[in-house]
Structure 1
Amino acid sequence: MKKLFENIEKKIFIPAFLVLIVLTLTIYLFPGQVNGVISILFSFCTHELGWLFMLTCLASFGFMIWLTFSKYGKIKLGNKDEKPQYNNLSWIAMLFTAGVGTSIVILGFLEPIYYVSAPPFDLEPFSNAAYEYAHMYGQFHWGFSAWAFYNPAIVAIAYVMYVRKENSIRLSNACRSVLHKKSDGWLGHIVDILVVFGIVGSISTSLGIGAPVLSDIIREVFGIPAQYDFTVKIIVLIIWVLIFGTSVYLGLDKGIQRLSNINVVLAFIFMGLILLIGPTMQIFKMEVNSIGLYASDFIKMSTYTDPFGEGKFSSEWTVFYWGWWIAFMPMMGMFVGKISRGRTIKNVMWGQLLWGTLGCCCSFMIFGGYSLYLQQSGKVDLATILAEEGNSGAIIAILQTLPMSKIMMLFLCIVCFVYLATTIDSCAYVLAGTTTKRLSYKEDPARWNRILWAVLFCVLSIGLMIIGGLEAVKTISVLTGLPLIAVLIVLMVSVKRMLKEDEEKEEKRK
């Protein structure tokens, strides 16, 4: 046991692990009380502090624009003559599948129906304008703004690892230019513990959204009675554990890279089938209109807090998403930073932002376009089904409109399994790295450590399913994302200071 833990950073691993175990047990033992508490906390964070999430998003954009047009954008993350560690296709596949999960498929279909039923800007539900904004708004929530949140952490981690040659992927180490010696003390440990909570919260949200829907689809396909619902959900989570446990065990190159490549191929085959089966020309027509709306209303949507109204749309959707992306920020920073050796700062920032946005927008363009077509044409009343039967009922209703519907349901299950497995792989890999004392860019964290975190994700997700409801899983992301706003700001300042310090040292050498 002593040898097993000799390279584990116990001051981070033990408190984070114990707190998460206590939290999970509390959810299992007192589900009703926990649900009530987190509902109150969600309401406070989204309604009272929503403006803070909005400003943080704009700050992330400002940081990216400044760094892009500064002299530092051309700095290579590695040796000057070094080539990228991974080819473009593998790099794009890994960063995209790490940043999205099953939710991109499930919410890609359903989110526009939520929006057209209760649209922003006091629009009339189910009006032509409501349909237009419903098709576009998901692309805003999963687009440039979402991926901009990741850049400060990505640049900070990659710069520390490949330019300063430090053997650590912990965010506390990337904050050293601001925290100084405190990055190795209690303040640094707090940063890393917050990172652990953020990653666990963000991935538990993805599992909490995905597992119930997939289990219901499997029951529908195989005719399994409703009384076995929870059993099927457990089986779904066990299959996920086996998939990503194997991938995590194999490591970054043999496991995660291969699974990411497979994931992208399967996802685009599924999207292509929906596009061909559905109203292809109508979907393209919707998308061209959405591009115009996105461009013309970007600032308006980025600052929409609805101060003189109820603020329901802003708090329940935009603020939730910004909290979710911020909670994902440490994982994406450490994972994308780790795989970006040999690329320039500008290439990494814009590459992950543009390719990530393109992949998400394609998903919402096709899945959301098909759902809205079914609703608007009167073929299926998805809004009513969604209100009465929840996410699972609406997804099943959509898939039943397709030819060979049961085969398409199974295909969607396979896509979703692989999608989320790659995201969980990345999260488990990063958490294992965060709780490791020394880790060079050539090394992987201990296998038992990676698998342990992957299993913990599933255990916590089962607890969230016991609480039930989309609001419960939304709350976890917002709560874990809130304290990470401070970490994000520190990372921006730290990157600027590191670049300036190293520039001054280089000038003195000359």
Structure 2
Amino acid sequence: MNSEHSNAAPGTLGKLGDPVVLGLSAGFIVLFVALSIFDINMVSDGIGAGFAWTAATLGSYFQLLLLATFFIALGVAMSPAASALVGNRSYPEFTTFRWLSMIMCTLLAGGGVFFAAGEPVYHFVVTPPAFGTEAGTSAAVAPALAQSFMHWGFLAWAILGSLTAVVLAHAHYDNGHPLRPRTLLYPVFGQRVMTGWFGGLVDACCVIAVVAGTVGPIGFLATQVSYGFETLFGLPDSYGTQLAILVALGALYVTSAVTGIHKGIQFLSRVNVILALIIAAVIFVFGPTLFLTNSFTQGFGEYITSFFAMSTVTSETAPDWWMKWWTVFFFSWFIGYGPLMAIFVARISRGRSIRQMILAVGVMAPVATTVWFTLLGGSGIFYQMTGAIDLTEALNNFQFDVATLTVAQELPGGAFMAVAILVLTTIFVATTGDSMSYSISVVATGHDQPNVLVRVFWGVAMALMAAILLYMGEGQISSLQQFIVITAIPVSLILLPSLWTGPKSAYAMARQQGLVAPLEAPREDPA
């Protein structure tokens, strides 16, 4: 993206960006850590209460928001306006493989790899509320995979960059507005939201949600790799090991973010996808191939036929604990990522059509995710069924780091495959760190090419926050992740207008490019 697409005048923003955005978002980090030091139990109990209230009160609203976003986005993708090109560019800025790699390495990196092995097995040993199959039987395989597909499939991806990316692309490339969350509200509030404290508050809410959503995977990766080092190599699973892993991870994704989208970010994403494809091929060819093929076919079929039953489960038909720790938690997490992911998708999609952008994010990426969950999680189910492993106790205690490594060691290649998956998981989380460090910096500065110091600041801040919280105990990382559900409240309101401004923006772009007929001027009343 060229600098002419940014309207942030020099001097308008400080080197670290809008003082309101910086003050509120950085202030949140300092306040959360300070309060945790002062009274860990107070912070955990307060967030837990807010988490439970939000899940019980607004869970259905979050579900309906994702459903509406997905189906309206599909409608836009099938409309005549979908042929409009993004960014006033007649050819794509990135090759298709590089573009799709950067898209895939966002949500899937944020937790999909961490949950891919354990979640299907969990739903296999604990039957999801939408189904009545007996847990642990062959009949439970398809529902277990289908429930995992629901959490990481079409609805999850659509909220990340379909309608919202269209709104931002039109506002930014055609009308010169900055790539910031506040721009999503410009069609509603006009210029009032673009300057002053209101716009800063909108941006800060989205930054805080992403910080909460990204620090969690960063922290949990350190615990997962540390546990893996102890299991595989006998190294101590200690805070010192976790800290060393955080330093290495932070150095990796900060370097990637500093070098930018055209270098580090797209290179790391490309390496990530290539490694994932190699691992996937090894699992499919040398693992339980027939079982995986049948499980995917049946699981995806169950996903489609039970789509509405799973996506509309409420606390009336499911236990409260299940809703808040599974469907509502995941959907809230994706809502929190929504605005900044849309910024990233709009930024890398210049020269692509609206149809390509929506289908890549809302259809292609979810299907690829279901394949990945089948390979890792389906293998886990197979080994659980045959008695090679038993993850029931670990998963009932939500020890997904144990599940990932246990399944990995049973895969073809054993320890070698376990190391490969640990490396892949590390790079996946690094791609989340670099893309979100970059996107937060774009939001903070209002500029498409944010200052290098700003990218370093946010990358280091997230790694440092993870290190401090891990020192206090993994419970504080869990508390921060629960906070995601609370941050989804304001962010969902920022995303809500895209349900109608998304189609309007698509048609406005199409009219500007002569793809649809212009609006007729209102006729004067003869009287």
- Same fold flag (TM > 0.5): yes
- Report the equivalent of 1:118: 126
Amino acid at match of 2:232: V
Q: Does 1:247 align with 2:253?
A: no
Map of 1:10 onto structure 2: 19
Give the corresponding residue for 1:313. 322
Q: What are the equivalent positions in structure 2 for 1:330-345 lying under 5 Å apart?
A: 330-345=339-354
After superposition, give the CA deviation of every residue in 1:205-226 in whole Å (9 maximum; x if it has no partner): 3224322111110122221234
Deviations 1:103-143, CA, capped at 9 Å, x for gaps: 22221100012212322235433243333211221112111
Secondary structure at 1:97 match in 2: helix
- For the 8 Å contact 1:46–1:315, the answer to whether it is kept is yes
Partner of 1:325: 334
Counterparts of 1:114-263 in structure 2, within 5 Å, are 114-121=122-129, 123-150=133-160, 151-166=162-177, 168-183=178-193, 184-226=195-237, 229-263=238-272
Q: In structure 2, which of residues 385, 388, 396 is the aligned counterpart of residue 376 of structure 1? A: 385
Identify if the C-alpha distance between structure 1 residues 65 and 103 changes in structure 2 by more than 3 Å, giving closer, same or farther: closer
Match of 1:75 among 67, 84, 90: 84
Asked whether the equivalents of residues 24 and 459 of structure 1 are also in contact (C-alpha less than 8 Å), the reply is no
Partner residue, 2:501: 494
2:462 corresponds to 1:457 = yes
CA distance in structure 2 between the partners assigned to 1:431 and 1:311 by the alignment: 33
SS at match of 2:90: coil
Distance 2:519 2:396 in 1: 64
- For the residues of structure 2 that align with 1:455 and 1:359, how far apart are their CA atoms? 31
- Post-superposition shift, 1:293? 0.3
Structure 1-normalised TM-score? 0.91
Inter-partner Cα distance in structure 1 for 2:398 and 2:154: 32
Measure the CA separation in 2 of the matches of 1:248 and 1:309: 42
* Amino acid of the structure 1 residue aligned with 2:375: I
**Partner residue in 1 for 2:51:** 42
CA contact under 8 A between 1:197 and 1:480: conserved in structure 2?
yes
After TM superposition, list the pairs within 5 Å mapping 1:291-306 onto structure 2.
291-306=300-315
CA contact (8 A) 1:39 1:471 kept: no
Instruction: Give yes or no for the alignment of 1:107 onto 2:115.
Output: yes
In the alignment, structure 2 segments of 5+ residues that lack a partner are 1-10, 513-517, 522-527
1:452-491 residue pairs with structure 2 within 5 A?
452-465=457-470, 466-469=472-475, 471-491=478-498
Counterpart Cα distance in 1 of 2:95 and 2:215: 31
Paired residues of 2:83 and 2:510 also in contact (CA < 8 A): no
Select between 273-282 and 63-72 the one with higher mean Cα deviation.
Answer: 63-72
Identify the match of residue 87 of structure 1 among 95, 102, 106. Answer: 95
How many pairs were matched up? 500
8 A contact 2:82–2:510 mirrored in 1: no
Is contact 2:168-2:343 (8 Å) kept? yes
Q: Secondary structure of 2:378's partner?
A: helix
How far did 1:407 drift?
Answer: 2.4
Amino acid at match of 2:149: Q
Q: Please state whether the residue corresponding to 1:435 is helix, strand or coil.
A: helix
Question: What secondary structure, in the 3-state scheme, does the structure 2 residue paired with 1:49 have?
Answer: helix
* Alpha-carbon distance in structure 2 between the residues aligned to 1:330 and 1:389: 29
Q: Which of 415, 433, 457 lines up with 1:424 in the alignment?
A: 433
- Secondary structure at the residue paired with 2:410? coil
Give 1:324 shift.
Answer: 0.8
The yes-or-no answer on 1:274 pairing with 2:274 is no
- CA deviations over 1:376-410 (Å, ceiling 9, x no partner): 11111111343469233333322332455332222
Tell me the distance in 2 between the aligned counterparts of 1:309 and 1:254: 46
TM-score scaled by length of structure 2: 0.88
Specify every segment of 5 or more residues in structure 1 that has no aligned partner in the other structure, as ranges. none
Distance in 2, matches of 1:499 and 1:366, equals 37
Percent of residue pairs identical = 25
Mapped contact 1:60–1:148 kept (Cα < 8 A): yes
Partner of 1:98: 106
RMSD: 2.5
* Paired residue secondary structure (1:307): coil
What secondary structure, in the 3-state scheme, does the structure 1 residue paired with 2:438 have?
helix
1:402-413 superposed matches below 5 A: 402=411, 404-413=413-422
CA deviation string 1:10-47 (max 9, x = no partner): 22222221222211222244223222222222211212
CA offset digits 1:154-207 (Å, max 9, x no partner): 1122112222244x2112123211111221233222211111112112112322
Q: d(CA) in 1 for partners of 2:99 and 2:50? A: 38
Query: 1:69 Cα shift?
Result: 3.7
Name the CA shift for 1:178/1:14 in 2 (closer, same or farther; >3 Å): same
8 Å Cα contact 2:84-2:509 kept in structure 1 = no
CA 186–497 in structure 1, closer or farther in 2 if over 3 Å, else same: farther
CA contact (8 A) 2:105 2:273 kept: yes
More off after superposition, 23-32 vs 426-435:
23-32
Q: Which amino acid aligns with 2:502?
A: V
Deviations 1:335-368 (A, max 9, x none): 0100111112122111222221122111111001
Give the alignment of 1:336-355 within 5 angstroms.
Answer: 336-355=345-364
The letter of the residue matching 1:457 is M
**Structure 1 equivalent of residue 450 of structure 2:** 445
Aligned partners of 1:114 and 1:186: how far apart in 2?
45
Tell me how far apart the structure 2 counterparts of residues 283 and 308 of structure 1 sit (CA, whole Å): 30
Instruction: Determine the C-alpha separation between the residues in 1 that align with 2:58 and 2:432.
Output: 28
Give the C-alpha shift of residue 246 in structure 1: 1.1
